[in-house]
Amino acid sequence: MTTQASQTSNGNQKPVFTPTGVGEEIAQIRKAREAKRGNIANSIDRRKRDQLTPAKGPSLMSYALTDQTIAARKKELGEMIYFMEGLAARTNITTIFAQPNAGKTLLTLNMLIKDVEAGVIGRDEVIYVNADDGGHKGIEKAEILINAGIVPLVIGENGLTSNKVLEAIDAMAVSGEAKDKVLVLDTMTKFSDTMDKKNQRGFYDLLRRFTVAGGTAIILGHTNKNRNDKGKLVFAGVSDPLDNSDNAYILDVASTDRLSHTDSEGYTHHNAKRTLVIFDNKKKRGDNPDELSFEYITWQGAEYTELLDNVKLTDADAAKSEMMRKVRKDKAKAKRDGMKDDAISIYEVLVDNDSLAKTEFVKLANGETGLSLARVRKVLAEFNGVYWADKKDKESASANGKLLVPVNHPREHGREDAPGFTDDSQ
């Protein structure tokens, strides 16, 4: 046999055999093994040389802070100032996560406008980059913000792109123009890929350079559509936004209800919606609040300035109670929805057998549907008075004798719409 060398995936040679003498074959095998050992030895020697060779560049000690540099930086940065009701702080990165239409933009702008009015933030220090709205809505917000002393930028207007925004942030950090500026990016997905760790790391490194230069960054991002097993919202994408933020909040809707609302011109809107929300802190580096609650009112045809005027701070404890009630209600609804198919199966058996005693029907439904006896009893109890109802069996010798009679077909009636529905989630 003769051998020919072929390359493996790791670059080593692998013998390939063809018919010839055995001695030559053994020699080729030994040669391949020696070559492999030589490659390993060379690799080890190279690592040793790398460890012994001094790295080029300055020592870490050259970057160490001193009493003089610390004093200079403290003077340059000034006092730590909290704003947006304490959600954000100067020279920090604050990220706010929420589902779409939860009110994160409305609430953020409402708080910033009030801070500018109060002098907590100077006029033209806030730069709001709107990558969510275009056309009429973008221009409407821009006009409101200019009058409020906030600098508006809209992606697509004046040739502005997301990449140009990122380039300008870097330039402001290098030039020192970032100092005292409050940058708001709305929303994160327009400036970085939330599913790419490398991209997110680069994005937050850029924001950190901006804050080190004396600026402040507020990033509005999205949560996942689905909640976790505790009914809580979870931010979308990789963990870097939370890991690299100084402060992070999830904004969630605690409750909504309909009401009549009279606007500033005296018109009454009978189908207005009041929304109660709560900011839940997920990370903080200072005296930021753990929770903060607001309510706001919206109605069809409302101008954005009217919506801003109808935001107010509320009791966080009350909002939290509302939130817990909502979570319990959602869980109860999910539980009922999970029983709906079983209820349909049981109802269809009941329609043809509504003269049976309840105890006998449970056994029949068990056999006809394949559901366990315990499951049949659970579904019957859950939807009693909605899809079916108990009826006294006059012919029964037992005082507790009952018949089941159909009331509403599950395919045609939702639980909330059906007669006798009560909210048992409280």
pLDDT at 194 over 70: yes
Task: Specify if 228 maps to a domain.
Answer: yes
Instruction: Flag whether pLDDT at 379 surpasses 70.
Output: yes
Q: Give the C-alpha distances (Å, rounded to integers) separating 16 from 8, 11, 114, 131, 230.
A: 11, 15, 78, 60, 59
The answer to the question of residue 341 being in a domain is yes
Looking at 57-71, 97-111, 122-136, 313-327, which range is the least confident one?
313-327
CATH number at residue 221: 3.40.50.300
Whether residue 248 sits in one domain with residue 372:
no
Q: Is 209 helix (H, G, I), strand (E, B) or coil?
A: helix
- SS3 readout for 101-126: CCCHHHHHHHHHHHHHHHCCCCCCCE
Pairwise CA distance, residues 397 & 387, whole Å: 27
In a domain, 414, yes or no: no
188 and 236: one domain? yes
Residues 125 and 154 in one domain: yes
In a domain, 61, yes or no: no
Query: Do 175 and 296 fall into the same domain?
Result: yes
Q: What is the pLDDT of residues 54-111, one digit of tens each?
A: 667 788 898 999 999 999 888 888 788 999 999 999 999 999 999 999 999 999 999 9
Write the DSSP assignment of 19-82 as a string of letters. Answer: SS-HHHHHHHHHHHHHHHHHHHHHHHHHHHHHHHSPPSS--GGGG---HHHHHHHHHHH-S--E
Count other Cβ atoms within 10 Å, centred on residue 106: 20
- Count the domains in the chain: 3
* The most confident of 32-36, 266-270, 385-389, by mean pLDDT: 266-270
User: Which is nearest to 233 in space by CA: 121, 327, 156, 111?
Assistant: 327
Q: Which of 265, 290, 314 is the last residue in one of the domains?
A: 314
Split at pLDDT 50, 70, 90, the class of 14 is very low
pLDDT over 60 (residue 426): no
| Banded pLDDT at 358 (limits 50, 70, 90) | confident
> Above 70 in pLDDT, residue 385?
yes
Cis peptide before 187 (omega within 30 of 0): yes
pLDDT value, residue 52: 55
Does one domain contain both 100 and 155? yes
Res. 294: pLDDT tops 90: yes
Domain finish residue from 270, 289, 314? 314
Q: What is the structure's pLDDT at 21?
A: 53
Q: Which two tokens stand for residue 349?
A: 């058996």
Whether 170 and 247 share a structural domain: yes
Kindly indicate the confidence band of residue 418, based on its pLDDT and cuts at 50, 70 and 90: very low
Cα dihedral 211, 252, 295, 315 sign? negative
| pLDDT value of residue 2 | 47
Which structural domain, as residue segments, surrounds residue 359? Answer: 324-406
Mean pLDDT of the region 262-267: 90
